[in-house]
Amino acid sequence: MPTEASTPILIGNIVNYFFDELIHQPDLDFSEVIKDTFRLAPEQFSCMDDKQLTECISKIRTHFNNLRNVVKNELTETGITKEKAYLEPSFYSNEYGLYGRLDLYHYNESDRQSDIVELKSGKLFRSNSYGLNENHYIQTLLYDLIIESVYKGKVKSNNYILYSYLDSQRLKYAPKVRSKQYTASILRNDIVILEHLLAKLDNDKYAFLLDKMNPEDIPSEFTFVKRDSRQYFNAFQGLDALEKIYIRTFLAFISREYILSKTGEHGVHKLNGMASLWLDPIEEKIEKFSILNGLEINRNESAEDIPCLSLSYSEHSALLSKFRKGDICVLYPGKGRSSDVLKHQIFKCTILNIDDTGIEVRLRARQKNHDVFKSNQYWNLESDFLDSSFNQLYYALYDFMIARPEYRKLVFGLKAPQSGEMSIKPETASLSSEQKLLLKKGIEAKDYFLLWGPPGTGKTSVMIRSYVDHYYRNTKDNILLLAYTNRAVDEICETISKVVGDKFIRIGSRYSTGEKYVNSLLRVRTEEIQNRKDLLHLIKNTRIFVSTISSIQGKRELFKLKRFDLTIIDEASQLLEPMLIGLLGRFSKFIMIGDHKQLPAVVTQKESRSKVESEQLQTKIGLTDCRISLFERMYKNCISKEWENAYGALSYQGRMHIDIQNFVSPVFYDGLLKPLTILERLSAVSVFKSRDKIRRMLIKERMIFVNVPVDNSLTSKTNKLEASIVARMVNEWKGIYKENEQNITESSIGVITPFRAQIAMIRSLLTNSEEITIDTVERYQG
């Protein structure tokens, strides 16, 4: 179940920030950092009343003063120097199946001595014989195991737990006890077994497990665990039989996806998940374009307020990769071995820029100690694997369990959606008669409206703009616009800016946001705000927010500050049910727009495994496969029950040439698609000419299919022959443009391919191709 942004959690995050700052500047004064503290979590501070805020500031002042004393005195007395300390380093251990991110790791190479410092802002509770919270102690011992695994026992390690709230003796020694490490390892294995059992909950044999998780069986000393378990248990027991089957089915589905993200499926053409970091050979990673290797640091600004590293390619580097600006990655010293990631600390980072000369990354934490950067010439960069996205899916199931029963029945299709009459007529002068009708139906729908929009029918550019225009001008409703990808969100921003200008807020990261909309980010808009009143005023008086699904799920506190009346979800057919069911219950009404005949949601497990076994789910709510989007299931359900007030379809398209439509429409859309006759280009004959036979064929034919055999390489995400044919076609088209004395722009030639690795392979076969747009289906969608 989700962890609400409580004051203790907020204080914990602030204390970690104080610790990092004091390591860099031990003489900092509280008055200097308190100004920046508000910017760490402005929404959470704004949820507090005056009394809570005063108490919070008093507590964090105490923590700050204690930490400053520790940094200036206690660390030094223990032999821990700031110059040899690394902040928030991460380590992997495949030997123990553990990952750890330490608060501080101190390493002195001269005597091979290391020190682990784990910072805790909470109070001691039922301290053990060492004067430590047992959970904190075990956590630190597991960190010790990881360090032992990484350095193979060549490094002597001391472990400490730093309790920042204590008035004295804050830095407490945590002695290594091998028997406790063994016990903790057994517990770790038990957790893995439980995760695998969760993945089988859709099997009747294991269906009893959730009913058996009675909080009364939990010992009373585990106060918080007992409290949370009781909430979850009561929520689950409050469901009817069908809802319980639904929760079990999706818990199993999510758990299987989670396991595959860690370990993958072994064998030829299989992926190893996160374990590919050390299982896949370097050569195979290069072939898959999943690594940037042999990088050399040419500028080190890791100690600055914005900690960055600039790395250039060396003669050992594979110049092509699948990485993009905004990707979250891991950076580690590279010695040319697949196991390098297990032998060094790793740095979590975000790509700021990437080009033909190198890459610039932002580290998660500032680093005062540059020894590791100086002592390692070459560095590797690979994709990071985050648990947070899966956690959000688990949280969504809980949110669905505690949602209104009427809402659950609506989503299941067991209750008919209601409609009314429009009180105000929207502006429709520029719309077709079909678009006017669908706009009217969407506005009159009281509960939800599902709009099916095949390619080029104006789902975003026309319909979303029209819905926003109506609700913004004619109501006082607050609107949240959502999409799956950042590119789709940028397109929504482009569309609605024509209606509301810059009077909207975008939720997300500046590194994944189009440059044009960075100033609309909530984080940017709050940079100059110094108090809760101004932030509350900004949030209250902004009626339109735009976000990706994942970004808004990480902003739960926003829903405490603002009530949204309506959400409009674009490209909804790309979203699995758990991505939406917990969220939609927060709104009075939702409009989902998508095309289930286009790109589906991304699922890793085999189709045979995602099939729904429950006959009740199949017959009563139409759930046959967990990989089917909520949009598709609800749309088909509305059709079968003839709820015509709740759904509609666009049929006139203005994107593809009629020769292409003549194939697409009958094969995929049951003949639904029709061209917008006012657009002459949809039936125009190409004006290009050529004396070359192949080029004449390319000019004449709007659709050509080339049958290419499967590539026998180890990865299923690339095909070299296919890439070479694509490159040949691109070069022929470049020749056609040159023959006809036409300039090539970025919108002239586009290449769509399913995987980033294939993008890199196609790029490798093209020369002077900067103006050619090559991207994945997801990014091209719409």
The tokens describing 260, both together, are 């595959």
Residues in the chain: 782
Whether residues 308 and 225 share a domain: the answer is: no
Assign residue 287 the CATH number of its domain: 2.40.30.270
Return the pLDDT at 146.
Answer: 96
Whether residues 12 and 106 share a domain: the answer is: yes
Residue 185 phi, psi (nearest 5): -65, -35
Whether residues 445 and 556 share a domain: the answer is: yes
Return the pLDDT at 471.
Answer: 96
For residue 296, what is the DSSP state? E
Whether residues 600 and 644 share a domain: the answer is: yes
Whether residues 258 and 294 share a domain: the answer is: no
Whether residues 254 and 320 share a domain: the answer is: no
Q: Which of 383, 413, 448 is the last residue of a domain?
A: 383
Rounded to whole angstroms, the Cα distance separating 762 from 751 reads 9
Assigned domain for 389 exists: no
SS3 per-residue string spanning 559-580? HHHCCCCEEEECCHHHCEHHHH
Q: Which of 231, 193, 190, 237 is nearest to 212 (CA)?
A: 237
Query: How many domains does one find in the chain?
Result: 5
Whether residues 632 and 699 share a domain: the answer is: no
Whether residues 516 and 541 share a domain: the answer is: yes
373 C-beta neighbours (distance < 10 Å), count: 15
Return the pLDDT at 268.
Answer: 46
Average pLDDT of each block of 10 consecutive residues along the chain (782 residues)? 79 95 94 87 88 93 96 93 94 96 91 92 89 94 96 90 94 96 96 95 89 85 86 94 97 96 71 88 86 96 96 89 91 92 95 94 95 95 89 96 97 97 81 94 97 92 96 96 94 96 95 93 89 92 97 92 97 95 97 91 92 97 97 98 97 92 93 88 90 94 92 76 94 94 90 86 85 78 56
* Half-sphere exposure (Cβ direction) of 406: Cα atoms closer than 13 Å: 9
Q: Give exposure, 480-503, as e/b (b: 16+ Cβ within 10 Å).
A: bbbbbbbbbbbbbbebbbebbeee
Q: Which of 596, 626, 650 is the last residue of a domain?
A: 650
Q: Which of 439, 411, 100 is nearest to 247 (CA)?
A: 411
Q: Which of 269, 247, 270, 553 is nearest to 386 (CA)?
A: 553
8 Å CB contact between 289 and 318: yes
Return the pLDDT at 190.
Answer: 96
Place of tokens 């507090």: 48
* Half-sphere exposure (Cβ direction) of 465: Cα atoms closer than 13 Å: 19
Whether residues 560 and 623 share a domain: the answer is: yes
Whether residues 147 and 223 share a domain: the answer is: no
Assigned domain for 531 exists: yes
Q: Which of 606, 623, 650 is the last residue of a domain?
A: 650
SS3 741: coil
For residue 481, what is the DSSP state? E
pTM greater than 0.85: yes
- Helices 241-263 and 577-584, interaxial angle, to 10°? 130
Whether residues 307 and 208 share a domain: the answer is: no
Q: Which of 33, 156, 151, 160 is nearest to 102 (CA)?
A: 160
* Half-sphere exposure (Cβ direction) of 565: Cα atoms closer than 13 Å: 12
Whether residues 468 and 356 share a domain: the answer is: no
Q: Report strand pairing: 589-594 vs 448-452.
A: parallel
Assigned domain for 67 exists: yes
Tell me which residue range forms the domain holding 49: 7-185
Q: Which of 142, 153, 96 is nearest to 118 (CA)?
A: 142
Assigned domain for 276 exists: no
For residue 630, what is the DSSP state? H
